[in-house]
Chain A
Amino acid sequence: MLKAVILIGGPQKGTRFRPLSFEVPKPLFPVAGVPMLQHHIEACSKLPNMKEILLIGFYQPNEEINRFLSCAQQDFKISIRYLQEYAALGTGGGIYHFRDQILSGSPEAFFVMNADVCSEFPLPEMLDFQKEHGDAYSFVILGTTANRKQSLNYGCIVENEQTDEVLHYVEKPSTFVSDIINCGIYLFTPEIFQHIGTVFQKNQQDMLLYYDEGEEQSNGWHRAEVIRLEQDIFTALAGQGKLYVYKTDRFWSQIKSAGSAIYASRLYLNQYHTTHPERLATNREGGPKTRGKCFMSERALYAGLLMHFFYFILGNVYIHPTANIDPTAVLGPNVSIGTGVTIGAGVRVRESIILHGATLQDHSCVLNSIVGWGSTIGKWARVEGTPSDPNPNDPYAKIDSETLFRDGKLTPSITILGCNVNIPSEVIILNSIVLPHKDLNRSFKNQIIL
């Protein structure tokens, strides 16, 4: 019997996802048309022995989370529960705190995953790998290859190439250690809690020492119960014959910033060809079509330009069935359109996420942007961002987490419109972030608009 635990964090986490995370908890943000978490849950529910999925985090229970849980239970016919931590306990502290719940029913093993990763979830392969490596109690980390420079931003794993044992583990080193990085997806056995328990006891003893010396009982990070799997557990377990790494070369990405949500959408939309072809929009029946007059000069033909048939869909596009799209709009590649969205005549959307209830008026153009819930984009307006995609020529390149500012200026990135933002006609909003409930009255470039 198997279980899965998904660590979903809380409001103080995921701040790089603002202003989108003001409206909806980040784990519920739609990626490729469905909430981020749903991709994890789907992958878990495909395993025949999966009995229960537990979400651990410190969000207050709210309408969105509850609604998501009840829908997911119905759709996937599996028990899904949310266990709320009383405080942020770290990636190890949370599962330790709820160990009884996790172990109830005596699962042989359980997955632990971070909510903010996008992955192909090779869970069956990890199960097989675990049976073949170490003893019945060994633990598996999913790893992938990064380029040397970017590996410093992740947990780095040094492995024994013959046995796949983890010899050394360092979280975000300052010098190069290894190009194998931690994907944030693990397979544990119940024995993990003994190791966490050891760390917990030690922390408690340290706390007592401090308390004795008259220092105040500190808060948050200094609690004994805060335990981080990466720094506190993996580093200690490395080289002890207990921890193994299963390397994958399938797609994987972190989802830390809004820009990475668009990149993750692209990865999942591509996966839909095999897993959910019904989620991909196709061209209207009859294929490409021309409109009334065919505007094409001889010169254009001579120059080898493509004739402009008015395609509806380019590449991978997700469109919710309740969206209303004019036949002259052109969408894609890599576009997700949410519920109740209205798209007017001659609109162009590319590499973007359009969230529920937004309206894009005639002839507007949205590129590399996220348009928030209920926002409106006026006629002929242009909303454009700069993609932060990894270098396509480097197969191991990962999406960068750029700082918000560089050299005193806003780093060009995805344009984000928060919820209920109104963009007037004929303006350009370039590389900007607009906070919710804002009515703009002119063009903006490279700015954060409060």
Chain B
Amino acid sequence: MKALILVGGYGTRLRPLTLTVPKPLVEFCNKPILLHQVEALVKLGIKISLSHEKEPLGTAGPLALARELLTDNEEPFFVLNSDVICDFPFDDMLRFHQQQGREGTIVVTKVEEPSKYGVVVYEGDTGRIHRFVEKPQVFVSNKINAGMYIFSPAMLRRIQLRPTSIEKEIFPVMAEEGHLYAMELQGFWMDIGQPKDFLTGMCMYLQSVRQQAPERLRSGPGFLGNVLVDPTAVIGENCTIGPNVTIGAGVVLEDGVRVKRCTVLKGAHIRSHSWLESCIVGWSSSVGQWVRMENVTVLGEDVIVNDELYINGANVLPHKSIADSVPEPRIIM
């Protein structure tokens, strides 16, 4: 079986991190985003194809481009949006799809605020999809498209090789013809394409690690809740780390540091007595002593924050030095 992972895109919502590294390679809980999906697929014995768009082809066009690769046998194939993190239900998807015997299955998930996404209206008992509504103004349904599909090769005839939106142009037709079914996802789900959701997704993922493989998490004095620490990280004395923290390779945390709900990427250095909450600290960045950072502050690669500053919701581009406090959220170029 095959899987096609859509990694196109400029990753603009995850800037400044994506100014240095393409989004699929940004580490989410100490593993590149893409690798989370790839590892889950490899467990099923799936071969992975690469497809390079010379120009953006939207969300459906890439399938047409990869037509040869996907149709060398009659087996169904997966299509995945690379921003999605969850407990990947690939075998359930396969089983469900084969049971339905139709052309397409979409995974849907329940969310609290559906109008931020594309909403799916389907029959509860069969799963047959009636229609889609993109970002509805009034409540239609709380199930949204989770960005994971499984298709029979036959559906490729519907897609032409040009920029095409699978949600707007292909799915509505398939739904009308009764060829599109919804499978509800159990467990957590997050689109980690922007910093706020990246951190929320991290909390959910760490919670699922706690349930499935708690030995991966760090515990002991100075560690609260779910904390993932790379073995090469160095943590000083009298620190309190967590809950919901990811510490990357080679990170140094000096004495007396307090970190909560943060991702600290590879090689970063947090100096003593600083306090961080809900932040993403970019690769090789350096945060000074007695710094307070909060409110989804994102530091790009190699950012230096001077001692004793207060950084509230700053979005800091790579290689920048911050010498003054940022008391209200803003972007620092």
Write the residues of chain A forming the contact surface with B, with a CB cutoff of 8 angstroms: 291-293, 295, 297, 299-300, 303, 305, 308, 328, 345-348, 350, 362-363, 365, 367, 379-380, 382, 384, 426, 428, 430, 445
How close is B271's CB to chain A, nearest CB, in angstroms? 7
B308 near A308 with CB under 8 A, answer: no
B238 near A346 with CB under 8 A, answer: yes
Q: Which of A293, A380, A428 gathers most chain B CB within 10 Å?
A: A380
Majority secondary structure, A binding face = loop
Q: Which A residue's beta carbon lies closest to that of B253?
A: A295
How close is B245's CB to chain A, nearest CB, in angstroms? 14
A293-B236, A363-B273, A384-B310 are known contacts; what are 10 more A-B pairs with Cβ within 8 Å?
A291-B255, A305-B304, A345-B256, A346-B238, A363-B238, A380-B275, A382-B292, A426-B275, A430-B310, A430-B327
User: Which of A300, A347, A348, A382 is the one whose CB lies under 8 Å from B310?
Assistant: A382
How close is A425's CB to chain B, nearest CB, in angstroms? 9
The reply to whether the CB of B286 lies closer than 8 angstroms to some CB of chain A is: yes
**A347: which B residues are within 8 A, CB to CB?**
273
Q: List 12 A-B contacts (CB under 8 A).
A: A291-B255, A295-B252, A299-B284, A305-B286, A363-B290, A365-B273, A367-B308, A382-B275, A382-B292, A382-B310, A384-B310, A426-B275
**A362: which B residues are within 8 A, CB to CB?**
238, 256
B238 near A345 with CB under 8 A, answer: yes
A428 near B252 with CB under 8 A, answer: no
A93 to B203, CA, bound (A): 70
User: Which of A299, A350, A430 is the one whose CB lies under 8 Å from B308?
Assistant: A350
The reply to whether the CB of B37 lies closer than 8 angstroms to some CB of chain A is: no
Q: Which B residue's beta carbon lies closest to that of A310?
A: B272
Q: Which A residue's beta carbon lies closest to that of B275?
A: A380
The reply to whether the CB of B258 lies closer than 8 angstroms to some CB of chain A is: yes
How close is B132's CB to chain A, nearest CB, in angstroms? 42
**B256: which A residues are within 8 A, CB to CB?**
345-346, 362-363
User: Which of A308, A367, A430 is the one whose CB lies under 8 Å from B289?
Assistant: A308
A350 to B290, CA, bound (A): 12
Majority secondary structure, B binding face = loop
The reply to whether the CB of B269 lies closer than 8 angstroms to some CB of chain A is: yes
Q: Mark B254-280, 1 if CB is under 8 A from A, else 0.
A: 111010000000000101110101000
User: Which of A295, A300, A345, A379 is the one whose CB lies under 8 Å from B236?
Assistant: A295
B308 near A428 with CB under 8 A, answer: no
Q: Which B residue's beta carbon lies closest to that of A350?
A: B308
**A303: which B residues are within 8 A, CB to CB?**
304
How close is A379's CB to chain B, nearest CB, in angstroms? 8
A220 to B83, CA, bound (A): 74
**A295: which B residues are within 8 A, CB to CB?**
236, 252, 254, 269, 271-272
Q: Which A residue's beta carbon lies closest to that of B289?
A: A308
B258 near A380 with CB under 8 A, answer: yes
A303 to B305, CA, bound (A): 13
**B310: which A residues are within 8 A, CB to CB?**
382, 384, 428, 430
A303 to B234, CA, bound (A): 21
Q: Which B residue's beta carbon lies closest to that of A303?
A: B304
A428 to B313, CA, bound (A): 14
A430 to B254, CA, bound (A): 25
For the complex of A and B, 4 pairs with smallest distance between CB atoms: A346-B256, A346-B273, A363-B273, A348-B290
B275 near A363 with CB under 8 A, answer: yes
Taking CB atoms and an 8 Å cut-off, the chain B residues in 156-173 that contact chain A are: none
User: Which of B237, B269, B327 is the one whose CB lies under 8 Å from A300?
Assistant: B269
User: Given that A295-B252, A308-B271 are known contacts, is A300 also in contact with B286, CB under 8 Å in the complex?
Assistant: yes
**B308: which A residues are within 8 A, CB to CB?**
348, 350, 365, 367
A237 to B273, CA, bound (A): 60
B258 near A363 with CB under 8 A, answer: yes
B269 near A348 with CB under 8 A, answer: no
How close is B324's CB to chain A, nearest CB, in angstroms? 12
**A430: which B residues are within 8 A, CB to CB?**
310, 327
Q: Which B residue's beta carbon lies closest to that of A344?
A: B256
A362 to B252, CA, bound (A): 20
A445 to B329, CA, bound (A): 14
A291 to B269, CA, bound (A): 17
Q: Which B residue's beta carbon lies closest to that of A446?
A: B327
B286 near A299 with CB under 8 A, answer: yes
**B284: which A residues are within 8 A, CB to CB?**
299
**A384: which B residues are within 8 A, CB to CB?**
310
How close is A380's CB to chain B, nearest CB, in angstroms? 5
How close is A288's CB to chain B, nearest CB, in angstroms? 15
**B255: which A residues are within 8 A, CB to CB?**
291, 328, 346
How close is B238's CB to chain A, nearest CB, in angstroms? 7
A384 to B255, CA, bound (A): 22
Q: Mark B288-313, 1 if CB is under 8 A from A, else 0.
A: 01101010000000001000101000
Q: Which A residue's beta carbon lies closest to that of B328?
A: A445
How close is B46's CB to chain A, nearest CB, in angstroms? 41
**B289: which A residues are within 8 A, CB to CB?**
308, 348
Q: Which B residue's beta carbon lies closest to that of A295?
A: B254
Q: Which B residue's beta carbon lies closest to that of A329?
A: B273
A308 near B292 with CB under 8 A, answer: no
A356 to B252, CA, bound (A): 37
A348 to B286, CA, bound (A): 19
How close is A52's CB to chain B, nearest CB, in angstroms? 48
**B254: which A residues are within 8 A, CB to CB?**
295
Q: Which of B237, B254, B273 gathers most chain A CB within 10 Å?
A: B273
How close is A44's CB to chain B, nearest CB, in angstroms? 40
**A297: which B residues are within 8 A, CB to CB?**
252, 269, 286
A292 to B289, CA, bound (A): 17
**A382: which B residues are within 8 A, CB to CB?**
275, 292, 310
Q: Which of A293, A295, A328 gathers most chain B CB within 10 Å?
A: A295
How close is A442's CB to chain B, nearest CB, in angstroms? 13
How close is B39's CB to chain A, nearest CB, in angstroms? 31
**A367: which B residues are within 8 A, CB to CB?**
308
**A365: which B residues are within 8 A, CB to CB?**
273, 290, 292, 308
